[in-house]
A = this chain, B = another copy of it.
Amino acid sequence: MCLALLDGRAWTAGELATHVGVAPSTATEHLHRLVKGGLLAERKQGRRRYVQLADPGAAQLVEDLAARLEPGPPTVTGLRAVTASAALRRGRTCYDHLAGRLGVAVTDAMTSRKMLDQDGGFALTPYGKQWLVSTLGVTLEGGRRPVARACLDWTERRHHLAGVAGARLCETFLARRWVTRIGTGRAVRLTPEGRDALRTHLGVDRLD
């Protein structure tokens, strides 16, 4: 369930129950514990109850656990499952930022263009901040949350950009329709406009 919630959206108890294949009563029990423990936040709307990860810290924790526990995606079988997992590997959201080959490619491009410093840690350079704020028009005020943070990509086994900057970047990509969600899941697809934008802004020609 926590893995499913990593898409950053709010799920209903019933959705999660069928998704993981347990009875609704079982799901209810688990979700109550996770809420009481502070990992999830709940929001009641009429007769249904939505849960989502409580905060970016919770998402990071789940992500880190998953990264350590999964030595690789367990071999999927069946055409449907294979295409779905291929789409996820190509591009997806990870809580509130971009991941998969797309997320890593953006991170790499920002690094080689000196917008991101991965040499002394993981931080935006002044130029990188300027690009985000002036060129893309986002704001980087984030309260106590770090502006830039490395998040280990569990399909690519590389770091991609998370934190406030990663979240704003992902919002921008979605708002400008550089990427669109595939169906209702976490997978995203790069649009032709997105392809152009990647080339002009970041010099990324193609994603393998």
Contact = CB atoms under 8 A, between A and B. Distances in A.
A39 to B, nearest CB: 8
Contact of A148 (B65, B121, B124): B121
A61 B63 CA distance: 11
A41 interface: no
A149 interface: yes
The count of identical subunits is: 2
A151 interface: no
Interface in A30-87: 38, 57-58, 60-61, 64-65, 68
A127 to B, nearest CB: 10
Interface residues of A, number: 26
Nearest to A161: B121
B121 A163 contact: yes
A147 to B, nearest CB: 5
A172 to B, nearest CB: 18
Contacts of A58: 68
A150 to B, nearest CB: 7
Interface of A: 38, 57-58, 60-61, 64-65, 68, 117, 119-126, 128-129, 146-150, 163, 165
Nearest 6 interchain pairs by C-beta: A121-B123, A121-B148, A120-B124, A123-B123, A120-B123, A117-B123
Given A57-B68, A120-B148, 9 more contacts: A38-B68, A60-B64, A117-B117, A117-B120, A119-B147, A120-B128, A121-B146, A121-B163, A146-B150
